[in-house]
Structure 1
Amino acid sequence: DTCTFGKDSPLYAQVNTIIGTPKLFISRNMDPLLFKMNTEGYYNGHVPISGIIAFALTVVAYLYDYKYIVMANEKSANEGNTEMDGIVINHQRSKSLEFEKAFDNYVHKYISSDLKYFSILRGLYEVRIAQEFAKYPQYFGAFSSCNRNFHILTGGPSTLGPDGPRWCGKCPKCIFVYTMLRPRITDEQTIQIFGKELYEDASLEPLFKELLGISGIKPFECVGTNEEMILAMRKFYQASSKQLIASSHIMKLFEHGVLNKMSKSDFIALEKKLMKIYTDDNIPSEIKEKITRS
């Protein structure tokens, strides 16, 4: 069964129709005082939404007698954004394997030993997931990883309806997902999904630099690693014409800022590391056996 959280939307409905599974929807009510404080200049801070969802799904699983709480968090989420005083700061810690195991132990100890919380994609980097996802074009118009879809006060692209844009094309998450998919999809599919070619938008240079590790730190968003960006951009670079590269500000940035500083053996090692399936996860053995057989 598929469970959605927060606010219902045409996007969720469309995905659920394609999957064809029963749907559970968890709604939430926000304290109006939070919005009042926003207008007065208070900061939101970071909300570990994946941790909140984990607890909400545990309640659902307990009430409806489900055995497994299955997430889709990837290996990339284990990497932090920066360090401070010797401590790794990870914006998406509640999506990490460290959190996953700690939460699973908490559930077993205090709620039910029959429940199992895990991520089915834990052994894969985002760049490998994108390779597999690109094989299912029926989902291209029914997914989004742009946080502007989930703004509460201002609304987002998803409020425009099932045929509206899913991507703002200006944020780190849009750039990262675009970069992961671009070597795997056609020009037409790229426009269908993102509405434009992000490699042609010179205004995105600062974000590309952060995502590639050229400058600054990895953005405080749920994005993958610098290495994944480098590998995916190199794949697209290799498949592109000289004319396309010459006309793309972002591809020229990649060429001079990254590509020319790495050797062929560096990229071979990078691909070997990022495209393999890892076994460090929290997936139950009986589920792993089914995955292996399929």
Structure 2
Amino acid sequence: MTTHFLIERPLFDAATGIARFEYGLDDRKFIEVLELPAGFDASQAQTAAFRKLLDLTALVLGVSYFKLLAPLEICAPTIALTNAERAFVIDIYENGLGEFYARNNLLRFGRLSVDAPLDVNDPLTVSSLQDRALLPIGGGKDSLVSVELLQAAGIEFTPFAVSPKGPILTSVDKIGITPIFVTRTLDKTMIQLSQEPGYYNGHVPSTAINSMIASLCAVLFGYNRIVLSNERSASEGNVVFDGREANHQYSKSLGFERLIASTLSNATGGALSYFSLLRPYSEARIATLFARETRYDKVFSSCNRNFRLSGHEGPLWCGECPKCHFVFLIFAPVMDKDRLIGIFGQNLLAKPEHEASFRELTGLAGQKPWECVGEILEAAACLYELTKRAEWAGEAIVVRLKSDLEAQYGEQRLATALIELMTDSTEHHIPADVVRRIASHAV
């Protein structure tokens, strides 16, 4: 029997702020719920633009249920899509799930179909949205650098998060601006099945999911911009699988940013824009900007392992995962050593048992980790820079990798790479007025 994945048209109750999304996988039924905070303009919920965004959100949220069996057909019989929107959905289910397919050895690229009626209505319009930004906060260094740039440039913004906990809450508290928080409740049966034999589990494009939820809030609360904090290295993939590059950070990439920006703009008659403020910067450049401010040292974290396991009720940094190792590495050349060790609670470059992880990060062994880490050459250049710093040159990891880095890349290439890391890229989607306003604060 052919497996079908069904996406029903979602429902939104403006009186309660609750949106319900229903899905079907053969005889299995699932319901996901979003609870939006009070204070929005209920009249916007009646607009065609909000209805369109709600429909598209249902399609994007559906990846969490689709991946249980990963069928070839996606059915949305009550949700009309333009040809561009259909291409957007296919991209989410193909490239957005690229890591999931690669790690489960599933061939899906170019084989998926979306069965939905064609939307032939006129382009949508939306009431004027206020000139202010909704800024997703992840609790890590990147979004906090965006906070600093926006505040310094005098650009109005509001922190945003979906089901926040741990460092997201403590970071928002430090920011000191009343946030917009949405509660997302996944279907419990889906969570249970994802752990059982016969069903698949794996990575989903969480940035795409949270961005669509943000779009609902942007229209309801009146924001004309969604500002992300994705850096240029997010566009680098991990492996080639099934003829395409699989990228753990695909929904943070520049290619996807352009696609979703176009989709959200078309859905709102051009009223809503979407871009990443940090797209011109390398991870090393962002680390330099973050190091200028100390107020977040005790509250931020980029450690996904501890976030998954305990919600950061324990240490903010596990010290064992590739993300911890990478963030420590890019901070080391630009931050006082005692300060850095104080943030992490330990010196991660002093532990020989971490050698294999640092070799993967720097391209000396294995593939790039399935994590939100920077480019391989970037990590190699940062580590090689430490061989020239007296305070770091004697650390176990630095000593062990020095000669191999020289042999694989050459000193000149590593030195050139470090210079390029601090040179801003022109490949970005930031509006010209925002570029001008932040320029003097990002030097």
Question: Is the radius of gyration larger for structure 1 or structure 2?
Answer: 2
- Select the residue among 32, 37, 40 that pairs with 2:196: 40
Tell whether 2:391 aligns with 1:256: no
Does structure 2 retain, via aligned residues, the 8 Å contact 1:141–1:193?
yes
CA distance in 2, matches of 1:283, 1:245: 39
Equivalent runs, 1:1-294 vs 2, <5 Å: 1-9=158-166, 11-41=167-197, 42-151=199-308, 154-156=309-311, 158-160=312-314, 165-240=315-390, 245-246=393-394, 248-294=395-441
TM-score, normalization by structure 2: 0.61
* Moved segments of 4+, more than 4 Å: none
State the shift of 1:63 in Å: 0.5
State the shift of 1:83 in Å: 1.6
Higher mean alpha-carbon deviation, 81-90 vs 59-68, is at 81-90
Does structure 2 retain, via aligned residues, the 8 Å contact 1:73–1:121?
yes
State the shift of 1:202 in Å: 1.9
- Deviation string 1:145-170 (CA, Å, 9 cap, x unpaired) is 1112432xx424x124xxxx211111
Gaps of 5+ in 1: none
Does structure 1 retain, via aligned residues, the 8 Å contact 2:382–2:418?
no
SS in 2 for 1:73: coil
Q: 1:155 to 1:268 in 2, by over 3 A?
A: closer
Task: Looking at secondary structure, tell me which structure has more strand per residue.
Answer: 2
Does structure 1 retain, via aligned residues, the 8 Å contact 2:280–2:428?
yes
SS in 2 for 1:217: coil
CA distance in 2, matches of 1:183, 1:293: 23
State the shift of 1:137 in Å: 1.4
Does structure 1 retain, via aligned residues, the 8 Å contact 2:384–2:398?
no
Task: Looking at secondary structure, tell me which structure has more helix per residue.
Answer: 1
State the shift of 1:261 in Å: 4.5
TM-score, normalization by structure 1: 0.90
- Deviation string 1:18-59 (CA, Å, 9 cap, x unpaired) is 222221111111211133224424442111100001101101
Does structure 2 retain, via aligned residues, the 8 Å contact 1:7–1:28?
no
Q: 1:99 to 1:261 in 2, by over 3 A?
A: closer
**Percent identity between the two aligned chains:** 34
State the shift of 1:80 in Å: 0.8
State the shift of 1:141 in Å: 1.1
Count of residues in Structure 1 that have an aligned counterpart in Structure 2: 283
Backbone CA RMSD of aligned residues: 1.9
Q: 1:233 to 1:39 in 2, by over 3 A?
A: same
